[in-house]
Amino acid sequence: MMQLTKTNAEGLSHEYQIVVPVAEVSSRISDRLKELQRTVRINGFRPGKVPISILRQRYVKSVMGEVLESVVSATSQQALKDEGVRPALQPQIEIKLFEEDKGLEYVMRVEVLPHIESPDLKKLKFTRMKVDTTDEEVESAVKRLAERNRAFSEVKRKRKSRIGEVLVIDFNGAVDGKSLENARGKDFSFSLGANNFLPGFDEKLIGAKAGEHHTVNIALPESYPDQSVQGKEAVFEVDVKKHLEPKEIKIDDELAKALGLEDLSALKEATRGELERGYNAQSRTRLKRDVLDAFAETHDFEVPNGMVEREFEGIWLQIEQDMKQTGTNWEEDESQTEEEARAEYRGIAVRRVRLALLLSEIGRENNIIVPQDELNQAVIEQARRYPGKDQEIFDYFKSDPEAISGLHAPIFEDKVIDFIIEMSDISEAEVTLEELYRNPDAPELDGQSFRNKEDAKRSRKDSKGSPKKNSSVKGTRSKEKSSSKVVSD
């Protein structure tokens, strides 16, 4: 029988001293040696007849390691159960004494989950934004589809190339006279002005003609895969093989058939459905944000510091990766210092952890679970992202509880949010497209979210002819990017 003593309790941080008597430790060691006796084979002894004394000489260190792990696991879990606390993270264990003839003594430090008062969901009131999909928006989306699927033809009379046209080139890049790996290609097509190659590369070729040779000097970005040449000047030898110009856009049945649909009417119908799905998804995103904002305003309970630190580290790692990819640093950022940014993002981490704990408590109290088949489907979706590595992906998730937790969390979160919305008093409000896609953190100008509809359209990107649920601007740091496995706000 273990002896449990609480030695410290400050806020959510608890410390316990746990003593396991000699008899318990000795008994477990003896039991493990007897288990080994049935399976271990040693020359000179019949199976199952190796003396315990011989086994003790050979295996006592490994056996004591196994016993220590099992006893600490069992007694620490029992201690938490006896104390009626739920740990926020894995307890920290410090072994003070462990000998067969003296027993086991250790200290367990643990941050516990706070007591959380769940809100009365039936008293909550929220507004769901609703947007009607107009014929004008459908026509605009179809036009954008046509532009993205526009055909090109070779320029018949040799002339200078222009932005929006396509060059087909052979190229070879070098730094200090040495060819760059993965910086050569044949029959490479790229659109002038799209800037989808190295930054500034296509600008140097605007005006190039078919049949010409060009030498392009360009500084490699700090995000270039080969770190040894990042920031250095590269020389590209380029042969322009073809010059293509876009054909006239035709929005007709042939366009629809090229996109796998029966006719133009079917294309418009499919586009309308895609737009509506995008609007509905954005409406849910805004409603979810309203729910989380309301909870953040009405709940201010203490949160475990360890969870906050882990969340902040994830956020900060993402910030550093983004800055590296964009070649920016804190010295160049005039909006805030690194110290100010750390304080701001730590506050965001606190918010996320607090909301995560609240959603988790609501889910727990209302028996919200993620069915195994949905979790299995999430694993399958991950495997589809890596063709040919299916078994490797399955084995990874099977062996790593943290990885499975990362898949479980967003599914669970969505289920809890859906439950909250279902239980709350939800009214609907007709809004404009501009209002639906307006950043809720952005200040309004003269009471308007955007100056006009075109501003609103430029604020998001298209996907299959419809606005995406979320958009980001390359080179900026997003405070809404979450590394949390529990909640994204």
Mapping DSSP onto H, E and C, the string for 226-270 reads CHHHCCCEEEEEEEEEEEEEECCCCCCHHHHHHCCCCCHHHHHHH
Instruction: With respect to residue 350, please indicate whether it lies within any of the assigned structural domains.
Output: yes
* Percent of the chain scoring above 90 in pLDDT: 69
In tens, the pLDDT along 191-208 reads: 999 888 888 898 999 999
- Residue 213 has a CB neighbour count (10 Å cut-off) of 10
Rounded distance between C-alpha atoms, residue 24 and residue 27, angstroms: 5
Q: What is the pTM of this model?
A: 0.72
* Res. 486: pLDDT tops 70: no
| Better-scored residue on pLDDT, 141 or 150 | 141
Instruction: With respect to residue 310, please indicate whether it lies within any of the assigned structural domains.
Output: yes
In tens, the pLDDT along 351-368 reads: 999 999 999 999 999 999
* Res. 469: pLDDT tops 80: no
Rounded distance between C-alpha atoms, residue 4 and residue 82, angstroms: 9
In tens, the pLDDT along 284-321 reads: 999 999 999 999 999 999 999 999 999 999 999 999 99
Rounded distance between C-alpha atoms, residue 313 and residue 309, angstroms: 6
Which among 226, 246, 266 is the end of a domain? 246
Instruction: Say how many domains are in the chain.
Output: 3
151 φ/ψ angles, rounded to the nearest 5 degrees: -85, 155
In tens, the pLDDT along 372-391 reads: 999 999 999 999 999 888 89
In tens, the pLDDT along 68-78 reads: 999 999 999 99
Rounded distance between C-alpha atoms, residue 209 and residue 180, angstroms: 25
Mean pLDDT across the stretch 144-151? 90
Instruction: With respect to residue 271, please indicate whether it lies within any of the assigned structural domains.
Output: no
| Better-scored residue on pLDDT, 326 or 478 | 326
Instruction: With respect to residue 456, please indicate whether it lies within any of the assigned structural domains.
Output: yes
Which among 111, 133, 167 is the end of a domain? 111
Does residue 230 sit in the same domain as residue 379?
A: no
Q: In the predicted model, what is the mean pLDDT of the chain?
A: 87
Does residue 92 sit in the same domain as residue 199?
A: no
Does residue 435 sit in the same domain as residue 314?
A: yes
Residue-wise burial string across 87-118, b where 16 or more C-beta atoms lie within 10 A, e elsewhere: bbeebeeeeeebebeebbbbbbebbbbbebee
Q: Give the single-character DSSP code of 115.
A: P
pLDDT band of residue 477 (cuts 50, 70, 90) is very low
In tens, the pLDDT along 255-279 reads: 999 999 999 999 999 999 999 999 9
Instruction: With respect to residue 132, please indicate whether it lies within any of the assigned structural domains.
Output: no
Which among 86, 111, 136 is the end of a domain? 111
Pair of tokens at residue 102: 């003296």
Does residue 295 sit in the same domain as residue 382?
A: yes
* Res. 474: pLDDT tops 90: no
Does residue 28 sit in the same domain as residue 163?
A: no
* Res. 489: pLDDT tops 60: no
- The CATH number that applies at residue 199 is 3.10.50.40
Instruction: With respect to residue 161, please indicate whether it lies within any of the assigned structural domains.
Output: yes
Domain that holds residue 164: 152-246
Does residue 344 sit in the same domain as residue 428?
A: yes
Does residue 172 sit in the same domain as residue 311?
A: no
Instruction: With respect to residue 9, please indicate whether it lies within any of the assigned structural domains.
Output: yes
Alpha-carbon separation of residue 28 from 32, 67, 69, 106 (angstroms): 6, 7, 11, 17
Does residue 308 sit in the same domain as residue 225?
A: no
* Res. 428: pLDDT tops 60: yes
Does residue 390 sit in the same domain as residue 457?
A: yes
pLDDT reported for residue 202:
87
Mean pLDDT across the stretch 456-479? 34
Instruction: With respect to residue 318, please indicate whether it lies within any of the assigned structural domains.
Output: yes
Does residue 160 sit in the same domain as residue 13?
A: no
- The CATH number that applies at residue 284 is 1.10.3120.10
Does residue 314 sit in the same domain as residue 439?
A: yes
- Taking alpha carbons only, the member of 95, 72, 436, 429 closest to residue 285 is 436
Does residue 93 sit in the same domain as residue 182?
A: no
pLDDT band of residue 35 (cuts 50, 70, 90) is confident
pLDDT reported for residue 331:
83
Mean pLDDT across the stretch 30-38? 89
Please, are residues 201 and 216 in contact by the beta-carbon 8 Å criterion?
A: yes
pLDDT reported for residue 436:
94
